[in-house]
Amino acid sequence: MATFTNTPRVPIPANGVDYRGKVVLAPMVRSGELPSRLIALRYGADLVWGPETIDRALAGAVRRVNPRNGTIEFTRMPSNSGRAEKATQESVIYRLDPVREKGKLIFQIGTATPEIAVAAAKLVAGDVAGIDVNSGCPKPFSTSGGMGAALLRTPDKLVAILEALVKEVGTPFQIGISVKIRILSEPEATKALVSRLVKTGITGLTVHCRTTPMRPRERAIRDQLRMVASICRDAGVACVMNGDVTSKDEALALMQEFGVDGAMIATAAEANPSCFQTEAEGGLLPWKEVVHEYLKFCLEAENRFGNSKYLLNILVPGKLPEGKTAKSARSYADTCHALGFEDLMPAALRVDEILNLTDKSVTTKDLQTEAVRSKAVQNAMENNETARAASGASRVKSTSPVATAGGPIRTNSIPAPTKSKPQETVSEVDVSIPAPEATPQKQELAA
Ligand SMILES: Cc1cc2nc3c(=O)[nH]c(=O)nc-3n(C[C@H](O)[C@H](O)[C@H](O)COP(=O)(O)O)c2cc1C
């Protein structure tokens, strides 16, 4: 970290956050949803960037508080593509935790138009510590609309977006506005660009040390880093480095070496978020411990299962048998069962119900089948006992394969795989879980 005195500093707004001295989670589409951010914070990330959200996708979203877990959700009704028969279900565009992410969440916006950027940013500005403009995404879906890395080629537009956000969102909401760029192939061009950006009123600038055409696997280039850091420092803007930073310890050393204020980690955190723990704090943890923690956050957040599964595919080593089974899971219950996380099963069954996954869940079907079978066996036994008692016959030991398979006859209505009390599990699903439609949720419009 740079420790220079007497250098100017762009003031940090009252509800904003200073990026100096911070090791942070990078914005990652798909991999940066709420559970990933919570686990990164849990292991020691100082700040978390949310996944890039396109301004047009956010515009028109409704803000509401999820009454079950207190998270704030921005939702929209997707178009039904003109098919009247197609049932529309509102989709959660962005979800955040107002308690655990308070003062630590930076919302990243994808935009190419100042007015739309401002309109969208205003929707979330009261719930986040900063708004960051993505000016580095090289993917065609971003660049073809003039967003992401395309903004590096249209600096006037990028400057206009940042100035509009500073004036119309940063100042009234008292949060910081920042930008994430890539280096340009010519250092002089990077210098000219950064020199303009730091005068827009932004509080922070992240530099991904790769050029736009570079592939993620190519080593980051750090030749221009000191120069970028120096321009930022002279302007009082915090400079965060990004590219091939793999752990907190390494981040702190690189910050010192290159005179930058902060460091951002993406793929290393995607593979194992415990990279935010220093060696002194325990360092990198085994995958199973991390996955258990991650699943807990997924369940708490009621995270979309497809998204959780996407990240589980990265976190769980696929070569292991439990990894293979987890990958074919269709529900949280399936996943917990495959990984042996029986302690999470009650929550998994509950969230499956909320997310309408119960019908797809192999584990739940097995549990129900077992429950029905168990009940039938119990009935049969009771009938036999009654018949025997009526006829005065003596009691005989059952040899039924159904009754004896796998050990003693179970008296509970729901047997393994969960070790928790099965009866409680059932009632938790049946009674205490309101279906989302059945629970009118408080609709709170954003300021
Ligand atoms: C899955 C994934 C999604 C990403 N999504 C975004 C994004 O939404 N916005 C952004 O600015 N960069 C995005 N990036 C780029 C990262 O934030 C980061 O700049 C890049 O991966 C380099 O950091 P690393 O070397 O630590 O991986 C993404 C990267 C990955 C791997």
Q: How many CB atoms lie within 10 A of CB 362?
A: 15
Measure the CA–CA gap between 179 and 188, rounded to whole angstroms. Answer: 19
Measure the CA–CA gap between 310 and 320, rounded to whole angstroms. Answer: 17
The neighbouring-strand residues paired with 47 are 24
Domain membership flag for residue 427? no
What pLDDT band is residue 443 in, cutting at 50, 70 and 90? very low
The neighbouring-strand residues paired with 204 are 178, 238
Cα distances (angstroms) measured from residue 166 to each of 18, 193, 318: 15, 18, 45
Q: What token pair was written down for 341? A: 């996380």
Q: Is the same domain home to 31 and 166?
A: yes
pLDDT of residue 389: 52
Q: End of a domain among 318, 335, 362?
A: 362
Interval between CA 213 and ligand 1 midpoint (Å):
14
Please tell me the number of Cα atoms within 13 Å of 338 on its side-chain side.
24
Domain membership flag for residue 443? no
Interval between CA 405 and ligand 1 midpoint (Å):
51
Tens of pLDDT, residues 353-404:
999 999 988 887 777 666 655 565 566 556 555 544 544 444 333 333 222 2
pLDDT of residue 412: 30
Domain membership flag for residue 412? no
Radius of gyration of the chain (CA): 27
Q: Is the same domain home to 206 and 348?
A: no
Q: What angle do CA 367, 372, 375 make, to 5 degrees?
A: 120
Atom of ligand 1 nearest to the CA of 26: 17
Whose alpha carbon is nearest atom 3 of ligand 1?
28
Average pLDDT of the segment spanning 429-444 = 28
Whose alpha carbon is nearest atom 31 of ligand 1?
267
Q: Is the same domain home to 348 and 252?
A: no
Q: Is 276 helix (H, G, I), strand (E, B) or coil?
A: helix
**Domain, as residue range, for 336:** 295-362
Out of 267, 275, 311, give the residue to mutate to test ligand 1, the one with the largest number of ligand atoms within 8 Å of its CB: 267
Please tell me the number of Cα atoms within 13 Å of 311 on its side-chain side.
32
Tens of pLDDT, residues 281-309:
999 999 999 999 999 999 999 999 999 99
Counted domains in the chain: 2
Atom of ligand 1 nearest to the CA of 266: 26
pLDDT of residue 317: 84
Q: Ligand 1: which residues within 6 Å by Cβ?
A: 26-31, 51-52, 108, 134, 136-137, 180, 208, 216, 242-245, 265-268, 270
Domain membership flag for residue 444? no
